Chains A and B, each alone.
Chain A
Amino acid sequence: MKFVDEYRDADLGQALAGEILGLVEPGRHYKVMEVCGGHTHSIYKYGIDDLLPANVELVHGPGCPVCVIPMGRVDDGIALAHEPGVIFTCFGDMMRVPGSNGSLLEAKAAGADIRMVYSPLDALRIAKQNPDREVVFFAIGFETTAPSTALTLIRARQEEIRNFTVMCSHVTIVPPLRALLESPDLRLDGFVGPGHVSTVVGARPFEFIPVDYGKPVVVSGFEPLDILQSVYMILKQLAEGRCEVENQYKRIVPYEGNLKALEVMAEVFELRPHFEWRGLGFISHSGLKLNENYADLDAEIRFSVPGVRVADPKACQCGEVLKGVIKPWECKVFGSACTPERPIGTCMVSSEGACAAYYNYGRFAREREVV
């Protein structure tokens, strides 16, 4: 397929792997974090880590939209879904994320009117089709998804659709990265920057990483050769003693981002003082809420939301996985009590989650190694 095969060329991949091998210093261990779960998925799907030298370790970051949603937030969604007259809408994987007393999928089985949608626009359409019902959209995701929610809210306002509200759980990418860089138990050499988030925010917001923390960042595409080239670019910076933000994904990502997208987000959202991240705890100014101009479309204002905080299950180590402190297979319940069919932790739910990606692809290679 044109513009796909070119980025999956095995010979070019081998050649790049050779170039990478030539850049690493023997005896030095390199830890490179891929921020985005999409990269984690590609790395396992295409076996990219098998092409890298043994002393280049890819560490999986917190950039999975589903994985970072805390259990209490799921419980809040389920409580809203049980409100009389409510049609609760959300993206597919969110339906399977466990709360403290079951998932949205189980709440649906128990009778709540919960519907899966592929876009906020779909949720708005449901609201138009059901004027006698209240339609709530459970908005999750990083800056990739937030503009879509913002545009839908603006459209709801323009078309005077009053039975539509949003439970906003959007998050922003920079604060958790800063939190990780401040973490004493994680030493990283560089970052593969998130591609799709950067189509919206651009590469500029990551400049604090080389400036404040002295680590290189390369914003990367999602095809195998994109990721290999990005690792090469990071190692080349390290070898040459450089430290800057580079953009490998120039075919999509403008360095300054999508200004219209940033404008619509600014029109609708404001930063929350704090937002709880699964496994990472509360991070300042890391979550979005509807601003006062759109407060009438805020589900958390129109309805009573419990807002309880629920501790993660003790057996689950999603937090350590999200911080890159442990590998998925080092979690006690990985692949036994926690599987994609019956997830305990969020990292096993989404394709972006390191545990699900590893369970679906990587474990076979590891099983071969063990044998």
Chain B
Amino acid sequence: MTAATGTEACTSEHCITCGDDGVAMTILQLDPNRGLALCTDGAGAHMTVETLLVEPVTIGDVLLVHAGTAIGRGEQL
């Protein structure tokens, strides 16, 4: 999550990655050749995410993202 986007997670006093948190993010764009996706958390934050661990993925999929990597997927994250 980028601090500049001012999401709830990043205005908190703590680092969500250190906190072992997973964040639900939706795929906006795909770079299938590099296994990367541009994702949004729906609150304005954007992040480039590794998708190898949850492939195949399509635009609109909801991923559980931790440290820039999708580690799970599904609607009810």
Contacts and interface: CB of A to CB of B under 8 A. Distances in A.
Which applies to chain B's interface (DSSP): helix, strand, loop or mixed?
Answer: loop
A3 B76 CA distance: 5
B71 A118 contact: no
Interface of B: 1-3, 12-22, 24, 47-48, 50, 52-55, 64, 66-69, 71-72, 74-77
Nearest to A254: B72
A356 B53 contact: no
Given A91-B18, A352-B20, 16 more contacts: A3-B76, A91-B17, A93-B19, A119-B47, A119-B68, A144-B20, A147-B53, A151-B69, A196-B21, A196-B66, A251-B74, A252-B64, A252-B72, A252-B74, A264-B53, A351-B15
A37 B53 contact: no
Interface of A: 3, 36-38, 41, 63-66, 91-94, 116, 118-122, 140-142, 144-145, 147-149, 151-152, 194, 196-197, 199-200, 251-253, 258, 260-261, 264, 340, 350-352, 356
B74 A118 contact: no
Given A3-B77, A38-B19, A118 B67 contact: yes
Nearest to B14: A351
A351 B69 CA distance: 21
B22 A93 contact: no
A91 B15 contact: yes
Nearest to B2: A118
A92 to B, nearest CB: 3
B75 A350 contact: no
Contacts of A197: 20
Contacts of A147: 53, 69, 71
A93 B14 contact: yes
Nearest to A41: B19
A252 B77 contact: yes
B68 A120 contact: yes
A236 B66 CA distance: 32
B18 A93 contact: yes
Given A91-B15, A148-B68, A258-B72, A199 B22 contact: yes
Contact of A92 (B15, B55, B68): B15
Nearest to B55: A260
B53 A66 contact: no
A261 B2 contact: no
B17 to A, nearest CB: 5
